[in-house]
Chains A and B, each alone.
Chain A
Amino acid sequence: MGNKQVIIEVGDGAAIPSPRDKGLFTAWRISFFGTLAIIAYLLLFRPDPYLDIIKFLPDGIVVTFQVTIASISLAIVLGLIAGLGRISRNRLFNLAASTYIEIVRGIPLLVQLFYIYFALGHLIRVPDMLAAIIAMGFCYGAYMGEVFRAGIKSIDEGQTEASLSLGFNRSQTMRYVVLPQAWRTILPPVGNEFIALLKDTSLVSILAVSDILRRGREFASESFQYFETYTMVALIYLLITLILSKLLSILEDRLSHYEQR
């Protein structure tokens, strides 16, 4: 049993390119260089309107990254608490975490974003961007909670038993023995969630956060060049997620290498 490696399957992540695929034409290379080529072609040979569109978008890209990074940080904190709660022996803590996850998973993300954004407005005065980040982090915290729970569960029970028999208490066991190991299993799906979250930040554009999609829509609504604008928006999203998924696969490769030693 001992050294069984557990892979956590997460449905909605980016497709991870397999680093072991040795061929010249991998799916990742085709999409990445294809995207680059199309963008270059459009900018060079069709500067009107594509150059105008791309000039309109940069601050949207910055906002997309700001929202993504801030929400994922919040989601990781919430996820860790929720994940620990789900496996906790404290009945109250366990129940609270489970209820949180159950509720969040049961409501569509878009509906939650709307709800939290406008509900927050009635309770406290928070700026729009912060409200969007809280909404996003709150929703993803629940998904992340399940990732953490699965990661912690993947560590063999024997480790806990050994640690307890050596005189550690439960929280010390978690902190010094289980979590450092679970982290390696958790990291790839967390990266996946990061990419999924980056894509889902396009949903916050309905809350009037000026991300890539919102900037694109503003451009389109004034110039009436809907097809051209959305082409560019889609290509930029694709480029960003492809770069991130490559980074993620490199990271994962490093981790699994460490695992094999």
Chain B
Amino acid sequence: MFKKITLTLAMLVCIATTAVAQKTIVFAVDATWPPMEFVNSDKQIVGYSIDYMTAAAKAAGFTPVFKNVAWDGIFAGLATGKYDAVCSSVSITEKRKKAMDFSTPYFKVRQALIVAKDSSVKSLADLKGKKVGGQIGTTGYFAIKAADGVEPKSYDEVGLAMEDLKVGRIAGVVCDDPVAANYAMEQYKDSLKIAATIETGEVEYYGIAMKKGNKETLELVNKGIEAVSKTSYVQELQQKWIGQ
């Protein structure tokens, strides 16, 4: 009996010390962006970004906590301090940089246009006068808005846009290419296809977003990303989640 109690106490002390020694960073994740971050059938938040950040946390010595937050308003929550950082495939843009700080880039994307399988559309320019959907507040949606003569339509989640595209309410969807590939080649492989990567679009990089001036978190995350990016784990993740 006494042995048991001491053992339990010893364990508690161990847990407590590691908890004290390691800073916890709470990441907000909009887990509707497969394969980068999504909720699997066990209700766990999984994906490329999650694995990447977990590895980075191990390397830099902090405890990551992932919190599922709706995309619309994810930056508002960051500004009001509901969590420390946003790890949710956030493309680094000039506009966003004014409102928040970004870590070192950890992933490269382009915007891809998805259309119905039987469509002959080759680019956004072919969709003049038609409705094209994207997730609200994403770079994909901004690309649609920037395109000439296309009617932009914003959705809460990219999955809803895909569903509307499948049933023919809109003519196309624009989103990050790994997500586009996931939808067009797996979930909707019978009805949708990738028509093009947006030709005018520049290369974008994902970064971890942080409240402006949060140096401590920024340094820790950067340290982690740097450590992971040098290892072969990145290729492993690419293989595991994206498969190219």
Contacts and interface: CB of A to CB of B under 8 A. Distances in A.
A208 B160 contact: yes
Contact of A226 (B76, B136, B168): B76
The interface centre, meaning the residue of B75, B131, B154, B167 with most chain A CB atoms within 10 A of its CB, is: B167
A221 B137 contact: yes
A167 interface: no
A242 B140 CA distance: 38
Interface residues of A, number: 20
Interface stretch (A11-19, A20-28, A117-125, A231-239): A117-125
* B131, B154, B161 pick with most chain A CB within 10 angstroms: B154
A214 interface: yes
A86 interface: no
Given A118-B163, A122-B167, A208-B164, A218 B154 contact: yes
Interface in A110-144: 118, 121-122, 125-128, 131
B156 A206 contact: yes
B76 A121 contact: no
B155 interface: yes
A221 B167 contact: no
A227 B76 CA distance: 9
Interface in B134-166: 136-137, 142, 153-156, 160-161, 163-164, 166
A224 B79 contact: yes
Contacts of B72: 217, 220-221
Contacts of B168: 125
Contacts of B153: 128, 208, 210
Contacts of B243: none
A221 B136 contact: yes
A122 B156 CA distance: 20
A217 B99 contact: no
A121 B142 contact: no
Given A206-B156, A208-B154, A222-B95, A127 B76 contact: no
Contacts of B164: 121, 128, 208
Interface residues of B, number: 26
Contacts of A227: 76
B169 interface: yes
Provide the main secondary structure of the chain A interface: helix
A131 B170 CA distance: 13
Nearest to A218: B154
B213 interface: no
B156 A222 contact: no
Nearest to B170: A128
Contacts of B166: 121
Q: Which of B75, B99, B136, B161 has the most CB of A within 10 A?
A: B136
Interface string B70-90: 001101100100000000000
B73 A128 contact: no
Interface string B104-141: 00000000000000000000000000010100110000
A226 B169 contact: no
A73 to B, nearest CB: 22
A162 B160 CA distance: 57
Nearest to B161: A208
A50 to B, nearest CB: 17
A29 to B, nearest CB: 34
A220 B71 CA distance: 12
A222 B76 CA distance: 11
A223 to B, nearest CB: 8
A82 B65 CA distance: 52
A217 B167 contact: no
A137 B156 CA distance: 23
Contacts of A128: 131, 153, 164, 169-170
Contacts of A121: 163-164, 166-167, 169
A55 to B, nearest CB: 16
B28 to A, nearest CB: 14
A217 B142 CA distance: 14
B80 to A, nearest CB: 9
A224 B75 contact: yes
Contacts of A224: 75-76, 79, 96, 99
A127 B154 contact: no
A128 B154 CA distance: 12
Contacts of B73: 220, 226
Contacts of B169: 121, 125-128, 131
Given A208-B156, A210-B154, 9 more contacts: A121-B164, A122-B167, A128-B169, A217-B154, A221-B136, A224-B75, A224-B99, A226-B76, A227-B76
28 contacts: A118-B163, A121-B163, A121-B166, A121-B169, A125-B169, A126-B169, A128-B131, A128-B153, A128-B164, A128-B169, A208-B133, A208-B153, A208-B154, A208-B156, A208-B161, A208-B164, A210-B153, A214-B154, A218-B154, A220-B73, A221-B72, A221-B136, A222-B95, A224-B75, A224-B79, A226-B73, A226-B76, A227-B76
